Amino acid sequence: MGREMILLTGATGYLGRHLCHHLLDRGYRVTTLVRGRQEGMRARLAQALGPLGREPGVVEAFEGDITLPDCGLEAAVRRRLAREGVAAVIHCAGLTRFGSHLADEAQRHNLEGTRNVHALSRALDAGQFHHVSTAFVAGDASGTFDQEALDRGQGFHNPYEASKFAAELHLRQVHRAGEVLRIHRPSIVVGGHPLGLNQGASTVYTFLKALHFLRCCWRRDPGRMACWGVEEGETGLHLPMRVEGDPGLTVNLVSIDQVVEGIAASLDRPRPGLSSRTILGQDYTLERLRHEFSRAMGITGIRLVDAAAWREREMTPIERNFRRATASYLPYLRGSPRFPDCEKAAGWPVDPGRLARQFRRLLEDDRAGLGSQAMELLQVRGPEDYFHCLLDRRVGHSFLERIRFIDCRARFLVEDIPPFDRILHFRGGEVRYCDPDEREWDFCYRLDRPLFEAIVRGEEEIRRAFFAGRVRINGDKEAALKFGFLFDDHCRHLEQRVLEEVCA
C-alpha cells in the first residue's frame, strides 16, 4: 500500500509502539491519536518510540481520547484526515488492567472507546478497520474456542475480559456488508525491545517482578527472611514457596514480532466482511515456565501445587505475598481455553528462559526501592488503585491501626481527566468510601495525580507539598495537617513496613 496512511491508536503502549515501528518499516505513513496535551504527548511518544530507534517526529500525532465522541479530534483534524484518505484504522488503545475496581473504566475504554474509534473510522471513510482484541474473550468457556466464535455464554475472570468481549459483540452488531473489519486476538504477548520499559509490564513479567521483589527483601534483611527457610544456596537463592497452579496446564505465549507481523500482513489482504483471528504462539506448560523462570532468576525451592495440595496447609507469609502480587493471574494458572482451529503465527517462538534472563537484567538495573516495587506489584497507579488496596487492607494496614483514635472524613480531589473525587471515612481503624450522596467532609486535599503517586510511594509529603503550594487544603486545616503528618510518616517508612508485611 506504499505511503498510504494508517491511523493508529495506542502508539504509546506496548503493542502499539512495536506496531508503529513495524508499519513504518513497511513504508506506511503512520498517524497516531494520543492522549494528553501537545507537550506531554510528544514526550510520551518519544519515550515509547525512542528505544526502538525512532524519533517521535516520524509519526504525525493528534491529541485525542478514545473515550470521547469523535475520539476528541477537532473537526478540522477530522476533515483533513478524511481529505488525505485513511487506508486503515488500527485500534490498539485500551485499558489492559484487570482490577475488579476498574469495571467502569474498562467499559468506558474498551467498549465505548472501540465504539468511538470505529465510528471515527467510518466518518473518515477509512478503507479497513482493525480491532486488537484478545484471545481471552473466551473467558471461562470450557473446552475449545474457535476463532470465529464469540458468545458461548461464557463468564469472565475480570472486567478486562468482559469489556473486550462487549467490544467485539458491538462490532459484530454494527458491521455492514462490504465493510472490511478484522479482529485480531493475540494470546499473551511477550518480548520486544525494550522489555520492562513498558511501564507496568504485566502478565508473565509480574511473576518475575514478584520474584525479584522477594530477592530484594532478602538482600535488605536476610535475618528476617531466614526464619521462613530462605537462604543463599550454592545454586542461588533458596526460596521455599508453593505456588498454586496445575503444573501440566499449558499457556500460550506469542512474541510481539509474531503479533505485529500478523496484523500488518493482514493489511495487504483486505477481504470485505468481518473476520476474527486468534494469534497464537507456542504452548508452554506451567512446569516448564516455573523451571525456566526459576533458573533465570537464580532461585530454587519454588513448587507448583494443585488446588488440593495448596489447601493442605496454611500459607507462609512469603507465599501470601507472592500470591497477592500475582492474584490477577491466578485463574489462568487453574485453567485455560483451547484454540484448536488456529494456526500458529509465523516467526520465532518465544524462548521463556531468554525472556526471563533479559528481564532480570532490567530489574537488576532498576534502583526502585521496596516501597515502589510493592506499589508497582499491586498495580497502584493512582488514587483509585491506592484506596482500593487500602479498603482491601492490601496496603496501609499499620497506618489504619495507628489512626484508630481518629474519626474523620477526608476528601481527596485528585485533578486529572477524569478527576478522582471521593470522600473516605476513617473511624476506629476502619475506612470506607462515603456514598456519592454523602457530601459532608472535614477537610479536602486537592492535588494532581503525579503528586499523589509520589506521596503514596513515600517520595513526597502532604505537609511539605502544602507549604510549597502544591496541595490545597479546604475545611479544617489543622485536622488535615495532623492527618497528613501521620499519613506522610506511614509512607516515608514504606520500605520498612513492606519488609514487616512480607515476613509477618
Ligand X SMILES: NC(=O)c1ccc[n+]([C@@H]2O[C@H](COP(=O)([O-])OP(=O)(O)OC[C@H]3O[C@@H](n4cnc5c(N)ncnc54)[C@H](OP(=O)(O)O)[C@@H]3O)[C@@H](O)[C@H]2O)c1
In the complex, residue closest to ligand X by CB: 13
Residues sharing a CB contact under 8 Å with residue 28, sequence separation 6 or more, in sequence order = 1, 3, 4, 5, 6, 87
Strand partners, 276: 183
Residue 497 beta carbon to ligand X: minimum distance, rounded to whole angstroms: 29
3-state secondary structure of 130: strand
**For residues 387 and 216, what is the distance between their CA atoms, to the nearest angstrom?**
26
Using the minimum distance from each CB to ligand X, give the nearer residue, 258 or 373.
258
Using the minimum distance from each CB to ligand X, give the nearer residue, 44 or 290.
44
Using the minimum distance from each CB to ligand X, give the nearer residue, 94 or 396.
94
Query: Can you tell me which of 21, 22, 54, 109 binds ligand X, judged by CB under 6 A?
Result: 109
| 282 near ligand X, judged by CB under 6 A | no
Using the minimum distance from each CB to ligand X, give the nearer residue, 124 or 444.
124
**For residues 45 and 425, what is the distance between their CA atoms, to the nearest angstrom?**
40
Q: Please choose, from the candidates 362, 323, 329, the residue with its C-alpha nearest in 3D space to the C-alpha of residue 502.
A: 323
Query: Can you tell me which of 7, 16, 81, 230 binds ligand X, judged by CB under 6 A?
Result: 16
Query: Can you tell me which of 28, 30, 31, 44 binds ligand X, judged by CB under 6 A?
Result: 44
| 7 near ligand X, judged by CB under 6 A | no
Using the minimum distance from each CB to ligand X, give the nearer residue, 198 or 294.
198
- Secondary structure (DSSP) of 331-351: HHHH---B-TTPPBPSSPPP-
Binding mask 50-89 vs ligand X (x if CB under 6 A, - otherwise)? ---------------xxx----------------------
- Cell numbers 493508529: residue: 8
Site for ligand X, residues 289 to 328, rule: CB under 6 A = none
Residue 48 beta carbon to ligand X: minimum distance, rounded to whole angstroms: 7
3-state secondary structure of 434: coil
Which stretch, 90-98, 239-247, 352-360, 367-375, contacts ligand X (CB under 6 A)?
Answer: 90-98
E strand or H helix at 289, and its extent? helix 286-297
| 45 near ligand X, judged by CB under 6 A | no
| 12 near ligand X, judged by CB under 6 A | yes
Which stretch, 12-20, 211-219, 342-350, 470-478, contacts ligand X (CB under 6 A)?
Answer: 12-20
Using the minimum distance from each CB to ligand X, give the nearer residue, 239 or 260.
260
Using the minimum distance from each CB to ligand X, give the nearer residue, 71 or 465.
71
Site for ligand X, residues 140 to 199, rule: CB under 6 A = 164, 186, 188-189, 198
Residues sharing a CB contact under 8 Å with residue 300, sequence separation 6 or more, in sequence order = 233, 235, 236, 237, 238, 239, 294
Residue 283 beta carbon to ligand X: minimum distance, rounded to whole angstroms: 16
**For residues 260 and 10, what is the distance between their CA atoms, to the nearest angstrom?**
13
Q: How many residues bind ligand X (CB under 6 A)?
A: 27
How crowded is the C-beta side of 178, counted as CA atoms within 13 Å?
3
| 32 near ligand X, judged by CB under 6 A | no
Query: Can you tell me which of 81, 86, 93, 124 binds ligand X, judged by CB under 6 A?
Result: 93
Residue 97 beta carbon to ligand X: minimum distance, rounded to whole angstroms: 8
Q: Please choose, from the candidates 5, 19, 277, 237, the residue with its C-alpha nearest in 3D space to the C-alpha of residue 128.
A: 5
E strand or H helix at 63, and its extent? strand 60-63
Using the minimum distance from each CB to ligand X, give the nearer residue, 89 or 370.
89
Q: Please choose, from the candidates 125, 157, 110, 79, the residue with its C-alpha nearest in 3D space to the C-alpha of residue 9.
A: 110
Query: Can you tell me which of 15, 88, 325, 410 binds ligand X, judged by CB under 6 A?
Result: 15
3-state secondary structure of 472: strand
Compute the chain's Rg from CA coordinates: 24
Q: Please choose, from the candidates 242, 427, 224, 231, the residue with its C-alpha nearest in 3D space to the C-alpha of residue 319.
A: 242
Residue 156 beta carbon to ligand X: minimum distance, rounded to whole angstroms: 13
Using the minimum distance from each CB to ligand X, give the nearer residue, 94 or 262.
94
Residues sharing a CB contact under 8 Å with residue 114, sequence separation 6 or more, in sequence order = 66, 91, 94, 131, 167, 170, 171
| 94 near ligand X, judged by CB under 6 A | yes
Binding mask 197-226 vs ligand X (x if CB under 6 A, - otherwise)? -x----x-----------------------
Q: Please choose, from the candidates 59, 55, 53, the residue with its C-alpha nearest in 3D space to the C-alpha of residue 24.
A: 59
Which stretch, 14-22, 99-107, 237-245, 470-478, contacts ligand X (CB under 6 A)?
Answer: 14-22
Q: Please choose, from the candidates 206, 215, 230, the residue with its C-alpha nearest in 3D space to the C-alpha of residue 330.
A: 206
Residue 83 beta carbon to ligand X: minimum distance, rounded to whole angstroms: 23
Residue 362 beta carbon to ligand X: minimum distance, rounded to whole angstroms: 16
Calculate the alpha carbon distances from 153 to 139, 149, 156, 291 in Å.
10, 11, 10, 36
Strand partners, 448: 415
Calculate the alpha carbon distances from 407 to 399, 425, 472, 483 in Å.
14, 7, 21, 11
Query: Can you tell me which of 35, 115, 182, 242 binds ligand X, judged by CB under 6 A?
Result: 35
Residue 69 beta carbon to ligand X: minimum distance, rounded to whole angstroms: 12
| Residues of this chain that bind ligand X (CB under 6 A) | 9-10, 12-16, 35, 44, 65-67, 92-96, 109, 113, 132, 134, 164, 186, 188-189, 198, 203
